[in-house]
Structure 1
């Protein structure tokens, strides 16, 4: 991570305009910096460190998928915390991340404010609204809805925060709800999150019925609105049919290659190729126990980069980026607490692998991109190649997808 906080950050902490214990329940939160030991797997020379820092601070660096909230230090209390609907943004960690822009997916499958089943429309709107209220009370992380917003954030020492959702489950059979979510600032949305919904099948289902007729209407509406479409958690047939139905490129914001690690959570070559052939991009995932590899079955930055190099060889460097899918706190503990909501067992197909407490080198948003860029520097990638995979590939897609 960067040695000093970046840009205009002044030390703001989430919801500091409110009175703890009066306006909301207090919890002890995980450390945003130094929760786990720093990554020791990269031995960069001073020149490589300088180049890594320069690329991280001077280029457009975009994470296609994160959850930038801070979770309770005691994950046994995570459901209590979520029920009050007030998740804190990790401003300090983001200030050390070097990110220009971040797609933040909020509570998503853990959005259990009023129902343990999650994905309720009113809960999602509540989550978005409360987070926006907090963003409005500070001047470092700014709500972004256009490419001009991303450029302005970069020019003024800020971070552009883009609201995203991993599934469209909460719209049920109401296509106009997409317009409402767009009005709230959502600029990227998945089709289904593991479980099938009115749009199509998720990756955990025994059978994949593909994109429904309603799903086709929703894809068309997202295209018209300028919402980028994500198929990371959709079934293979649903993913392919979504890519075909969309008039603009589609993202796989956070996944890896099934040819490298054979679980449903990874994408088969056919889907990755189809995404690239229509101009889309795959963001390489790093959430615990996802992007493993035979060479590096103990999840670490090296495992993640095995998926990166495979995808680059498969579809070309112009179609690969990063969506690490990290957060501030115990990500493994979150998966354990919400295993049923997140379909952990079905998505990972019970493939044996060593269990880890965290992903070494890609533990949270503060450290992820310094280590990713450092790895690319160490392995001989040019500045132009690094620019593509950490930001410019994403920008190219957004130029086609987002409303001007």
Structure 2
């Protein structure tokens, strides 16, 4: 983990308001030191210096995270989410080494309570509340174009990309995509597990593919400059989206079903199709997702098994990282909302060893230090590391965001 960024001055979310008076306060999980530091890497002084240089000098982008601080008592999450007042983990982010993070807003708790929760008003509330908080500090800046990422890097700040895991809230009104773009959303998923008006999610028993309205929405996102994600979409819907899009498609947070036979992973055919059209897959690390036969106890090594497989499959120019982490008890969160997160269906018939946290990739503060360290130890060049830490994502964004 790096030292705090010099531009970070210690700001905490909503410190301009009075907790308990202006908003309901929750006891939040610590951003740093919640679990022991990863001990699986043995870096000598030269390797540590190289990792620090790679994270400091290069552009580092997380394709998918939830850099919010969750309640210490995870069962309070529903009430916390309903306030729409998620606290951004500024302290942890300042040590992460990231230049930009795709922040997947919790959509008024929708995505972890019920599909009915994907309401337009909830999404607008989440966006407005998050931007109000960001406007009161000077370390994290809102990203709307590639130039903003470079500005964040050059000025020692961090860029935050507003992203949504599904387009369910647009219902059948394609002009809502324009509104979301106007609010600053620059990346959106097609469906989150359950089907919507655009297409099928990975939780569905059958996948009818991208609907006619879904094709219309994809065309609108292409024209506006919104990156499209298919991480939680069904296989046929994913392939249809890749085929109908005129721009590269992102798989922001997933892994390979060949490495781990879970529906939550993507078949190699989808990964290959996305890469052939110029897209990128971001390797995720949410608990009990990117495991592997070689490392069934979910940890950094499990995730990197997916990384090496995807590099062999589509080449290093089409692989990145979207760790899908947060500040708090991610395993407890999944246990509480497993029914709505499709985890039971994803692992049906596949035994695995449960862990209390993903060792080495537990939260946004530590992920890229350990990822970069693994890449250094395993002999990747500075050029290769630069591509997977941020260069590949930048290439796609240059095309998608115009």
Q: 1:74 to 1:376 in 2, by over 3 A?
A: same
SS in structure 2 opposite 1:22? coil
> Alpha-carbon deviation of 1:76?
1.7
What corresponds to 1:325 in structure 2?
324
Shift of residue 7 of structure 1?
A: 3.0
- Name the residue aligned to 1:53: 52
Name the residue aligned to 1:147.
Answer: 146
Judged with a 3 Å threshold, the aligned counterparts in structure 2 of structure 1 residues 229 and 199 are, in CA distance, closer, same or farther, namely same
Flag structure 2 segments of 5+ consecutive residues without an equivalent: none
Question: In structure 2, the residue corresponding to 1:218 is in which secondary structure?
Answer: helix
Structure 2 residue aligned with 1:234: 233
Shift of 1:111: 3.0
Question: For the residues of structure 2 that align with 1:42 and 1:241, how far apart are their CA atoms?
Answer: 41
Task: State the SS of the aligned residue for 1:111.
Answer: helix
What's the offset of the Cα at 1:183?
0.8
Structure 2 CA distance, aligned partners of 1:99 and 1:191? 26
Following TM superposition, by how much is the alpha carbon of 1:115 offset from its aligned partner in structure 2, in angstroms?
A: 7.5
Question: What per-residue deviation string (whole Å, max 9, x for no partner) do you get for residues 9-64 of structure 1?
Answer: 00000000111111101111101000000000001111111101110111000000
> Could you tell me which residue of structure 2 aligns to residue 211 of structure 1?
210
8 Å CA contact 1:83–1:113 kept in 2: the answer is no
Corresponding position: 1:256 with 2:255: yes
Number of residue pairs the alignment of both structures matches: 402
Alpha-carbon deviations, 1:293-346, whole Å to 9, x = none?
Answer: 000000000000000000000000000000000000000111122222222212
Kept in 1: contact 2:78–2:113 (CA 8 A):
no
Q: Please give the secondary structure, in 1, of the residue aligned with 2:132.
A: helix
Tell me the residue number matched to 1:120.
Answer: 119
Alpha-carbon separation, structure 2, partners of 1:48 and 1:158: 25
SS in 1 for 2:213: helix
Cα deviation digits, residues 254-291 of structure 1 (max 9, x gap): 00000000011000010000000000000001000000
Whole-Å separation in 2 of the counterparts to 1:359 and 1:56: 22
> Equivalent residue for 2:136?
137
> Is the alpha carbon distance of 1:113 and 1:230 closer, same or farther for their aligned partners in structure 2, counting shifts above 3 Å?
closer
Query: Mean alpha-carbon deviation: is it higher for 78-87 or for 274-283?
Result: 78-87
**Is the contact made by 1:82 and 1:112 (CA closer than 8 Å) also made in structure 2?**
no
> Who is 2:281 aligned against?
282
8 Å contact from structure 1 (residues 112, 123) kept in 2: no
| Residue matched to 1:83 | 82
Against the structure 1 CA distance between its residues 318 and 39, is the aligned structure 2 distance closer, same or farther, given a 3 Å change threshold? same
Aligned to 1:222: 221
- Tell me, yes or no, if the aligned pair for 2:115 and 2:194 is still in contact at 8 Å: no
Note the residue ranges of structure 1 that are not aligned, 5 or more in a row: none
Aligned equivalents of 1:156, 1:370: Cα separation in 2:
20
1:44 aligns with 2:43: yes
Distance 1:295 1:167, change over 3 A: same
Partner Cα separation in structure 1 for residue 249 and residue 149 of structure 2: 20
Report if the CA contact (8 A) 1:282-1:321 is conserved.
yes
Asked whether the 8 Å contact 2:13–2:88 carries over to 1, the reply is yes
In the superposition, the TM-score normalised over structure 1's length comes to 0.98
Aligned-residue Cα RMSD (Å) equals: 1.3
Q: Could you say which residue in structure 2 is the equivalent of 1:363?
A: 362
Q: Distance in 2 between matches of 1:128 and 1:264?
A: 30
User: Whole-Å Cα distance in 2 between the matches of residues 232 and 108 of structure 1?
Assistant: 17
Matches for 1:3-402 after TM superposition, within 5 Å: 4-108=3-107, 110-111=109-110, 117-402=116-401
Distance in 2 of aligned mates of 1:113 and 1:40: 32
- Deviations 1:203-228, CA, capped at 9 Å, x for gaps: 11111000000000000000000000
Q: Please give the per-residue CA displacement for 1:146-201, whole angstroms capped at 9, x wherever unaligned.
A: 01111111111100000000110111111011011111110000000110100000
Q: Structure 1's 114 and 380: CA in aligned 2 closer, same or farther, altered over 3 A?
A: closer
For each residue in 1:222-264, what CA deviation from the matched residue of structure 2 results, as whole angstroms up to 9, or x when unmatched? 0000000000000000000100000010000000000000011
